[in-house]
């Protein structure tokens, strides 16, 4: 069937006319929708989901800012026909809902209809499903940026930015801390999956190895302060030490509070070893309760810090990048916006890519700053030698 709106290539730029957000009424979806209608004056946004009432509420609020450019559409992500119909006149799909179990259906529809995609899932099943459709997407000339958003997604560009200019052998640490008192149980399900499946590894002496029981105190910024952190292996970082010629690389994540960190988090991996997903919902409910009950941070929000130490031209140097936001969902939406811009500008080859391999660091930091995110870059570089 001929598509109503054709995706034209003009001077190498991917001209998007309609973007569908699957999960458009959720916390992430509505924030992304607002950024899209603000950033792209000629783009219409279609908010999609299973229930019309919340979608209409978000659309009504956005239409006051972007008249005639926001619509709604009912979609059942589990139904291949429903997804294909919803994409029939769409140029780009963005998933902003925790529907990893249905990503294979979504990816198949993108191939069938010919639609680009940005996928926000951290769940490994989503990445595997997109990878399974890599050749098919290449064949129809479409592309997907997966593992996009705050976590995963943001860490590799920030690591690249922090490591810029250093000689070989620099040591680099990246850490994330987030705290939202009113986080819903459904939003925490992917966090529980990360707890249950992540390996504790750091890069040292030319290889990734067991991080051991190393729980450093890391200084974040004005929102998170100084926090105890836990090692967390991110597969999106796996090839970076070799690419950047790093001596070491470690990723950490701050815990939520003492109850969650010492009574919930250690139990989740043990349950997942017995059966993947065992106790998942109960753990998410418990963490949601602890977020409301305990408050170890100065204020809600999220901060990402990367610190590099080494030499520049043979002399000692340091770099520190701090990214902070009071609205974690808003920060995630801006990271997704960076992926949308890469596709819109024709910078992504057909196929399947990670955000961490696709979005360049400096434009990302500039975009974050322009969208109101607190970005602080501090570099201590060696002074030039005085002339004799």
Q: Are 13 and 40 in contact (CB under 8 A)?
A: no
The answer to whether residues 137 and 144 touch, using CB atoms and an 8 Å cutoff, is: yes
CB atoms within 10 A of CB 90: 27
Spell out the domains of the chain, with CATH numbers in brackets.
8-146 (3.40.50.720), 155-327+372-380 (3.30.360)
Cβ atoms 105, 77 nearer than 8 A: yes
Residue segments in the chain with a per-residue pLDDT below the cut of 70:
1-15, 213, 382-388
pLDDT of residue 14: 53
Number of helices and strands in the chain (H, E): 15, 18
Q: What is the rounded CA–CA span in Å between residue 45 and residue 72? A: 8
pLDDT for residue 9: 35
State residue 294's pLDDT score: 81
Q: Which residues contact 237 (CB under 8 A, 6 or more apart)?
A: 155, 156, 159, 174, 203, 249, 251, 356
CA atoms within 13 A on the CB side of 202: 21
User: How far lies 302's CA from each of 14, 18, 87, 132, 158, in Å?
Assistant: 32, 31, 33, 33, 15
SS3 string, 13-55, reads EEECCEEEEECCCCHHHHHHHHHHHHHCCCCEEEEEECCHHHH
pLDDT tens digits, residue range 271-329? Answer: 888 888 898 899 889 888 888 888 777 778 899 999 999 999 999 999 999 999 999 99
| The two three-digit tokens of residue 14, written as one number | 């991917």
Q: Which pLDDT score, from 0 to 100, does residue 161 have?
A: 97
């Amino acid at each position: 069937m001929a598509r109503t709106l054709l995706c034209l290539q003009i001077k190498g730029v991917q001209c998007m006319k309609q973007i569908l957000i699957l999960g458009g009424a959720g916390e992430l979806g509505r924030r992304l929708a607002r950024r899209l209608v603000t950033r792209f004056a000629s783009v219409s946004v279609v908010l999609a989901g299973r229930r019309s009432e919340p979608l209409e509420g978000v659309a009504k609020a956005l239409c006051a800012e972007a008249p005639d450019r926001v619509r709604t559409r009912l979609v059942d992500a589990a139904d291949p026909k429903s997804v294909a119909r919803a994409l029939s006149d769409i140029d780009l799909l963005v998933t902003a809902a925790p529907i990893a179990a249905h990503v294979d259906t979504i990816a198949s529809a993108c191939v069938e209809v010919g639609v680009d995609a940005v996928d926000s899932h951290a769940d490994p099943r989503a990445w595997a499903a997109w990878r399974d459709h890599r050749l098919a997407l290449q064949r129809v000339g479409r592309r997907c940026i997966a593992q996009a958003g705050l976590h995963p997604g943001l860490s590799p560009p920030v690591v690249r930015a922090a490591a810029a200019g250093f000689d070989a052998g620099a040591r680099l640490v990246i850490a994330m801390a987030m705290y939202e008192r009113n986080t819903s149980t459904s939003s925490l399900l992917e966090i529980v999956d990360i707890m249950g499946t992540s390996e504790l590894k750091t890069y040292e002496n030319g290889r990734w190895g067991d991080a051991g029981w190393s729980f450093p105190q890391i200084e974040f910024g004005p929102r998170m302060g100084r926090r105890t952190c836990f090692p967390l292996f991110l597969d999106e970082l796996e090839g970076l030490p070799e690419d950047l010629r790093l001596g070491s690389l470690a990723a950490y994540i701050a815990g939520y509070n003492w109850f969650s960190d010492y009574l919930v988090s250690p139990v989740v991996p043990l349950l997942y070893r017995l059966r993947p997903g065992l106790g998942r919902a109960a753990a998410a409910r418990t963490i949601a309760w602890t977020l409301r009950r305990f408050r170890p941070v100065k204020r809600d929000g999220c901060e990402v810090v990367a610190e590099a130490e080494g030499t520049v031209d043979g002399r000692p140097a340091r770099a520190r990048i701090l990214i902070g936001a009071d609205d974690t969902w808003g920060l995630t939406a801006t990271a997704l916006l960076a992926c949308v811009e890469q596709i819109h500008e024709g910078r992504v080859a057909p196929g399947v890519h990670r955000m961490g391999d696709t979005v360049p660091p400096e434009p990302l930091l500039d975009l974050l700053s322009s969208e109101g995110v607190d970005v602080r870059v501090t570099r201590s570089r060696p002074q030039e030698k005085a002339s004799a």
